[in-house]
Amino acid sequence: MFINITYWVLIAAIIITMVRLILGPTIWDRLLSLNLINAKIVLVIIIYGVKTDNMFYIDIAITFALIGFLCIALLSKFVRTGGRHK
């Protein structure tokens, strides 16, 4: 039961963060909310792995977190250097 409540809380937090992603006044707010969504999805994957007692999901979550980190780092560097408007 506690895991189900945790799922619903994380899903609500992801939805609220998606609103911030859409309405963010600056590109940096959007990047931050994208990073937050990535972290929350990693949490959902880890909780599901613990619930099903399958440690393979933990490996998937670690891989997803690393890919998300690299994407955010590359996107922030792209935005900081001016993007395509050079």
Q: What is the pLDDT of residues 42-64, one digit of tens each?
A: 999 999 999 999 999 999 999 99
* DSSP string across the chain: -HHHHHHHHHHHHHHHHHHHHHH-SSHHHHHHHHHHHHHHHHHHHHHHHHHHT-THHHHHHHHHHHHHHHHHHHHHHHHHTTTT--
Q: What is the pLDDT of residues 1-33, one digit of tens each?
A: 888 899 899 999 999 999 999 998 999 999 999
Q: What residues does each domain of the chain span?
A: 2-80
